[in-house]
Amino acid sequence: MTKTIQQHFYSSIGIGLFSVAMGFSLKIYLATIIAKNDLALYYTAIDIFSFSLLVLIGFRSSMVVTYNKLKEDKAILKIFRYFILGAMLISWAFVLPYVKHNFNLEIDYWYLVATIFSMSLYLYLSNQLAMYRLYGVMNKTSFLEPIFSLFWFALAFYVSGVHGLQALFIMSSMSSLSLSLYIYVYKRNRANEPIIKRVIQNQEMKEFIKKSLISTLEFSSGMILIYLSIFFFNHYYSLDEVGDFQVVTKPILMYMITLFVFPVFRFLLPELSKLYFGKEKEGILKIKKWFYSFTFLVSASFVAAIYFFGESIISILFLPQYEGAYLYLSHLSFFFIFIMLNAYQIAFIKASGAFNLALYIRLSGLAFFVLSFYLTKLYSESSIAVVFGLDIAYLGMFLFSWIVERHIYKKDLEL
């Protein structure tokens, strides 16, 4: 693995810390000058809009793998355009009216239309960064995102005198448009946008569409695992235990995943795909050796931090009433290593084009979780059963993907 990839990966972690800090600070700042109800409605609307575009998430991995295999970007982008245009129109027709009228948003339609359009455009261009392996631009956009948000909000709120929901939606739409323009300017030196015309539906492009939809299901399955754990907490346990998980445990776990797992799919998957189709065995092994060493370092540090300082961290950052979250975090910290390793394995499996197997692994995680939770619940009424179920799910997915990974090595790379 080249040193450049390492630098981009490490930079993404630093930028991720910066983005998390800036994003959290912005939320605290907005809470002091925006009405609580307006802020709640805004974040709910943005979450719903993001979820409506979820079908496009799976295209990123499929675009990367198909491009590395065929070296044909024009047809890929044309197909992706049709899907993103369809998702945007469906959002305008159904999601937007639902959000506006169900939540009684006192805001003109064009704010919502502009928000969905800008989010779609940014998603379209940011997916291309992964396909073309423009790692530097990917990190720069992540760095600029919270800065643009703060700039456009300040301009709308303090300079133009726009307040409430209008200022928030201006911040979102203009920030996404600014990032899109930034990506477009840098990307055009690598590739021009293909002209709008009919796409020839050959077998390769049909396979690309199939992989994209499977990848979307695979990504969704990983998110459902977290939401299923929330459902179990809400359904079987007290509000205090729900609070421990929702307020402390889940955010810390998601921050760790954001910092150390998501970069695997943003940076390593494109590189692994390039090496796989180039039959560069040594390059793949170098990436694996480096990432495994990095994983052990991060995981050991996480375990040590929770074991020695976990209770102090919780008492400082949260109220004493959340001290019960320490038990959840102490269990999860020992299994975070499997989350990271499984992310690498899934990235390699998808990089080889085996999207079906990646989906089966994710679905197996749901099965492991439900089975281990209910088996544990037979012998214990403790809420730790939910966390233990998550632990077994991550361990089970790791073992399953390890078998699949070894099979692909032997079959395709003769390792």
Q: Among candidates 157, 174, 164, which has minimal Cα distance to 115?
A: 174
Contacts of 191 (CB under 8 A, 6+ apart): 73, 128, 132
Rounded to an integer, what distance in angstroms lies between the CA atom of residue 181 and that of residue 87?
21
Rounded to an integer, what distance in angstroms lies between the CA atom of residue 70 and that of residue 83?
20
pTM of the complete model: 0.86
- Write the CA distances from 252 to 256, 314, 315, 340, integer angstroms: 6, 10, 14, 15
Cβ-based neighbour number of residue 170 at 10 Å: 20
Contact 392, 263 (CB under 8 A): no
Q: Among candidates 400, 396, 394, 392, which has minimal Cα distance to 372?
A: 392
Report the pLDDT value the prediction gives residue 281, as an integer from 0 to 100.
86
Of the CA atoms within 13 Å of residue 320, those in its CB half-sphere come to: 0
Q: Which two tokens stand for residue 118?
A: 């800008």
Contacts of 281 (CB under 8 A, 6+ apart): 413, 414, 415
Contacts of 266 (CB under 8 A, 6+ apart): 12, 130, 138
Report the pLDDT value the prediction gives residue 191, as an integer from 0 to 100.
67
Contact 107, 100 (CB under 8 A): yes
**Residue 79, burial from CB neighbour count under 10 angstroms (0-12, 13-18, 19+):** buried
Report the pLDDT value the prediction gives residue 122, as an integer from 0 to 100.
93
Report the pLDDT value the prediction gives residue 341, as an integer from 0 to 100.
96
Rounded to an integer, what distance in angstroms lies between the CA atom of residue 410 and that of residue 278?
16
R_g over Cα of the chain: 22
Rounded to an integer, what distance in angstroms lies between the CA atom of residue 239 and that of residue 233?
8
Q: Which two tokens stand for residue 338?
A: 């499997």
Spans in the chain with pLDDT lower than 50:
1-2
Rounded to an integer, what distance in angstroms lies between the CA atom of residue 354 and that of residue 281?
18
Rounded to an integer, what distance in angstroms lies between the CA atom of residue 187 and that of residue 179?
12
Report the pLDDT value the prediction gives residue 306, as an integer from 0 to 100.
92
Query: What is the per-residue pLDDT across 136-194, written as a single tens digit (0 to 9) for each?
Result: 889 999 999 999 999 999 999 999 888 888 999 999 999 999 999 999 988 877 766 76
Q: What DSSP line would sit under 185-237, residue for residue?
A: HHHTTT-PPPPS-PPP--HHHHHHHHHHHHHHHHHHHHHHHHHHHHHHHHHHS
Q: Among candidates 208, 223, 209, 233, which has minimal Cα distance to 363?
A: 223
Report the pLDDT value the prediction gives residue 200, as an integer from 0 to 100.
62
Q: At 380, give phi and psi (nearest 5°).
A: -150, 140
Q: Which two tokens stand for residue 350?
A: 């998808």
Contact 226, 250 (CB under 8 A): yes
